[in-house]
Amino acid sequence: MLIQGGNAVDAAVAAAAALNVLEPMSTGIGGDMFALIWDSQGKRVAALNGSGRSAAAANAMDVRKKGYRAVPASGPHAAFSVSTPGAVHGWQTALERYGRMTLREVLAPAIHYALDGYAVSEVITHQWQAAERQLAARPSGLELLPGGRAPRCGEVVRLPTLGRTLQAIAEGGAPAFYHGEIAQKIAAFVQAEGGWLTTDDLAEHGSTWDEPICTDYRGVTVWECPPNGQGIAALMALNIVEGFDLPSMRPQSADVYHCLIEAMRLAFADVLQYVADPRVVDVPVAAMLSKTYAAGRRQLIDPETALQLVSFGELPPAGDTVYVTAVDGQGNACSLINSLYHSFGSGLVVPTTGIALQNRGALFSLDPDHPNCIQGRKRPYQTIIPGMATRGGELWLSFGVMGGFQQPQGHLQVISNMVDFGLDAQRALDALRFHVSVPGKGEVKLEAGVSAETATGLRKKGHRVKIIDGYERTLFGGGQVISRDAETGVLTAGSEPRKDGAAVGW
């Protein structure tokens, strides 16, 4: 897209759309998207919320009647978890305000891969095979099982029904998805599966431009999309960590990990209690980002002993995925994340369309007193979060780390690696990571290769440590980073070593 005259937004949307075909278990038009966009002329960050809302008829009682204590993410009643897909509207909204190209132009590569085929990589093969049984449970799932099974590494795959759906969207824009035949097929299928989604729910969907949220971390301003996303968790953890002298500690040591882990646990306790759709309930963002509040939470951290019980704080009055980042020659940047949540989302594939529907509604609570309780036309808690960082009023980083609840943890670790320890983009991504289990059970997963000294040190502090290796290392997320030198305009990129991905310059 850049070579053809497009800008960073055009490039990011085109890549996200192509990944719907190349990595269909992770993302697609049946899911949601968020973006942070840096306007190099206005020197400002814009936040786009392209996530969908629950159906108007969504309610906790219907779910409880089926015997569930939580909204099911998969299985016979997975349709309860299907919220309105927001990706297509989000793509078009971003292009209309900041892009140079049309939706038709940026969808061309995705359509090409779907109809003409592409070779499947080893990592994608593994993910596809893991979801084979789930897709095969319904006849329409075979549309994403070419030849009746998950593809093998190196096989050439075509997804014709998905390709034709993308062609219809290219020709008719977002209205072709949210109105007419495609919308009718989506609604009819979800209702046949016992869900609530209607054509009215789809027709009434719209993306929203929000004011991004940020915090200052040792002279770097880190930006996130506001709730209903969980990006605020990364900012809260950074606020807590800022009070520790991490640069004086040894990188990847037990002491560094302990500070980061405890800060992340405290931040998650708060966001899981308070984050919901701010257009439906009050979300105390300013109080959550208060440096004074962070100082109080920091005092709960004992340098030598892990917290046994982590609870949310009393505030003073006052969200498998793909991540893409692009920066163009004019210094504009787009940090974009697109997801179905779980692998192939709900596992529901709309017949004759190739659309795998997300299961974001599984993140709703059934507790009527919780801010994130399921109700009609409400956005659920979202795990997907793009990130940016500025320094001296200029773009420094466009970055993200995909992977469910790992995402704010990845943001925290990448920013700390680059700010506290001076690592460049690639080395910051290569560095070993930790993963705090959410909901918090006190277990901390460490990546294979961590030193015995660090693992032992964490155990001595009371952390329940488990070492993760092999394909399971994707648990630690998949990050991409582009850094920009404001004086020279030089771009330096890094790409995730644990998954497929690439840093490409032109």
Tens digits of per-residue pLDDT, 244-282?
999 999 999 999 999 999 999 999 999 999 999 999 999
State the catalytic residue, choosing from 84, 321, 390, 474: 321
CB 96 within 8 A of CB 102: no
pLDDT > 90 fraction of the chain, expressed in percent and rounded: 91
For the question of residue 488 being annotated catalytic, the response is no
Q: Is residue 416 part of a domain?
A: no
Q: Is residue 345 part of a domain?
A: yes
Tokens encoding 79: 């349709």
483 pLDDT above the threshold of 50: yes
- Report the range of poorest mean pLDDT among 67-76, 319-328, 459-468, 492-501: 319-328
Tell me the pLDDT of the chain averaged across its residues: 95
Nearest to 191 by CA among 383, 62, 278, 312: 62
Nearest to 201 by CA among 16, 379, 13: 379
Q: Which residue has the higher pLDDT, 472 or 239?
A: 239
Residue 378: pLDDT band with limits 50, 70, 90: very high
Q: Is residue 294 part of a domain?
A: no
Q: Is residue 405 part of a domain?
A: no
């660090």: which residue's tokens? 454
What is the rounded distance in angstroms from the CA atom of residue 216 to the CA atom of residue 238? Answer: 9
Q: Is residue 106 part of a domain?
A: yes
Q: Is residue 72 part of a domain?
A: yes
Q: Is residue 481 part of a domain?
A: no
Domain around 139: 8-209+321-363
* Greatest CA separation for the chain: 62
Q: Is residue 445 part of a domain?
A: no
Strand order in the sheet with 478-484: 213-217, 220-224, 387-391, 394-402, 478-484, 491-495
For the chain, report the end-to-end CA distance as a whole number of angstroms: 11
Looking at the structure of the chain, the number of domains it has is 1
CA 19 to chain centroid, in Å, comes to 14
